[in-house]
Amino acid sequence: MLGFSKNKKLRIRLLGDPILAAKAKRVEKIDDEVRALAQEMIDVMHDARGIGLAGNQIGLPLQIVVIDVDMPVDEEGHEIPLESPGEKALLPKMPLCLINPELVAYSKEVCDFEEGCLSVPKIYANVVRPCRVTLKSQLLDGSEVELECGGLLARVLQHEIDHLKGIVYVQKVEDPAYGEIERDLIKMIRKNGQKNFKVRRLVNS
């Protein structure tokens, strides 16, 4: 049993909730319960207008992630040619559920990009991450993929798989950008009822 009930609406947990710092456990079997959870997570993600959601974020520390990344377009709305094998294979399948996903390779080239998070609503900051990653994962139909991914897809994969490791993106925000959001983070944490909670930063401050 996953601890998931169709009759109980999933709730997105906010920064300060201990479940966001938990390391997620592997999903041992893809069955009807897992498929139902995946669909519920997709619905919650869409309702919140997000493009990614991990198990920890809805209170279930399981290695399950749902994503919905659009095809990239230029300023005039024309689709931009996809460069990475992962984008070509996965973007047409969105929304997508990943089971036990892991990143097995990272590019040396890094990119700086503004991120947000459904567990840290209305707070945005730049995070430096590798531009390309290689994803290894099961899909909901039981098939396995191992693909190099670039673009926004690579960014979302790193963000969501971090959640499965108990990491929230704000922990990777460098100074001075962190100082610009720190006061808002403290307000959010206190509002969430965690007065003594402190963000464990993973970059040099």
Three-state DSSP class for residue 178? helix
Take residue 121 and report the two structure tokens written for it.
């609503």
The answer to whether 67 and 163 are in contact (CB under 8 A) is: no
Smallest CA-to-CA distance from 60 within 32, 7, 30, 22 is with 22
Cis peptide before 176 (omega within 30 of 0): yes
Active-site residue (options: 109, 144, 160, 182): 160
Collapse the DSSP code of 190 into the 3-class scheme (helix H, G, I; strand E, B; otherwise coil) and give the result.
Answer: helix
- DSSP letter (8 states) at residue 195: T
CA distances from 71 to 18, 88, 117, 151 (A): 34, 10, 20, 10
| Planar angle of CA 188, 63, 93, nearest 5 degrees | 100
CA atoms of 137 and 164, how far apart (whole Å): 13
Annotated catalytic, 160? yes
Residue keyed to tokens 């959601």: 53
Cα 164 from Cα 159, distance rounded (Å): 9
Q: Which residues are catalytic?
A: 160
